[in-house]
Structure 1
Amino acid sequence: MAVTQEQYLSGRILLAMPGMFDPRFERSVNVMCVHDEHGALGIGIGHLRDGVRFRELLEEVGIDPGDAPDREVHHGGPVEPGRGFVLHSTDWGGQDTIAVEPLCALSASLDVLRAIAEGRGPKDWLIALGYAGWGGGQLEGEMRQHGWYAAGGHREVLFDTPAEGRWAATWRAEGIDPSFLANTTGRA
């Protein structure tokens, strides 16, 4: 069965189901930035990178931190864990900014980091290292195997909820009590 444009998950939040088959994604929360017939790219927002702070990253790439807040850095996913991504409000945009409608925007250039450090960046933002990626049809297959749930794009979860609370908060925003979720599925 072919996936239609309306079924693509860009702009939504992808949640790992309890008992997911891949332990690297336990209680994973991903903002789906790209999803089409060629595959998918999501940025993890449910786990933090231990000991990594934003101002430290700015210094590592040669940007004066200025008055930038020293926020925690998210574990964006297992692919290219040294590559940085900024999910942010749509009030800022650079040359390579991608709209992640209706939730946010995604930037991966040094321009957004400089703008944040100089106090002219987006109002709301978070930074992640790495991403989660799927080949064409791979994500759809994992969803059929009780791996993932596609939630709506809940902006309040993205920007107003601490990382450790985003998995449960997204389920609640969907009207689901996560304590009632089962670790396995049955077969009819």
Structure 2
Amino acid sequence: MKTPSFTSLKNQFLIAMPKMVDSSFASTLTVICEHSPQGALGIIVNRPTNLTVEEIFHQVGIERVSRGAKMNNTVYSGGPVAVDRGFVLNSSERQWESFLRINDEVQLTTSRDILLALAAQEGPADFLLALGYAGWGAGQLEQELADNAWLNCEFDPAIIFNTPAHLRLNKAASSLGVDLSLISDQVGHA
């Protein structure tokens, strides 16, 4: 019997289909940062919280902040797993102590040194700070894709760094020629 081949979705967007019933993922756009046969990790990029970067700096004990630092940037809900941990999607002009390269332009950083650099205005040109991440066990994401819970498309950093949060999901869908408002959330009814 032939073993099915594995295709990684790393460096892809996941677009939640309108029928998504899991409230953790309904109407979300997720960047897949890592995907292997053992599972997947992603960051939701269109769920802003009421927190700002300034509040995160204070929570982690960063008191020295340069004038002009992006203190008012919004913090995002990156997913339902490890919601007390910070994850920074950032342009990859330099490497940090703990990072995962998503592609040549963007990486996911989890170390404190990037926060210190952001506070000193020495951080990356583009960044999105999220609390928590989205995670899938072995075969789980593949099954959800087979069940039509998600669409996937090529990851475009401009969608997260240059597009307002409320427009990101539809902009990613439109890159596939899809209008999510025209897709029914009812399945199997003719």
> Which structure 1 residue ranges, 5 or more long, are not aligned?
none
Cα RMSD for the two superposed structures: 1.6
- For residue 169 of structure 1, what is the aligned residue in structure 2? 171
Residues 39-188 of structure 1 aligned to structure 2 (within 5 Å): 39-49=39-49, 51-64=50-63, 65-67=65-67, 68-69=69-70, 70-102=72-104, 104-186=106-188
CA change 1:90–1:123 in 2 (3 A) is same
- C-alpha displacement at 1:182, in angstroms? 2.4
> Which structure 2 residue ranges, 5 or more long, are not aligned?
none
The structure with the largest helix share of the pair is 1
Identity rate, percent: 35
Q: May I ask how many residue pairs the two structures share in their alignment?
A: 184
The whole-number CA distance in structure 2 between the counterparts of 1:174 and 1:32 is 17
- For residue 22 of structure 2, what is the aligned residue in structure 1? 22
Do the aligned partners of 2:17 and 2:180 also contact (CA within 8 Å) in 1? Answer: no
Paired letter, 1:80: A
- C-alpha displacement at 1:120, in angstroms? 1.1
| Residue 2 (1) aligns with residue 4 (2) | yes
2:24 match: secondary structure:
helix
The whole-number CA distance in structure 2 between the counterparts of 1:2 and 1:117 is 47
Q: Report the TM-score, using the length of structure 2 for normalisation.
A: 0.91
Q: Report the TM-score, using the length of structure 1 for normalisation.
A: 0.92
Query: After TM superposition, where is structure 1 displaced by more than 4 Å over at least 4 residues in a row?
Result: none
- C-alpha displacement at 1:98, in angstroms? 1.1
- C-alpha displacement at 1:66, in angstroms? 2.5
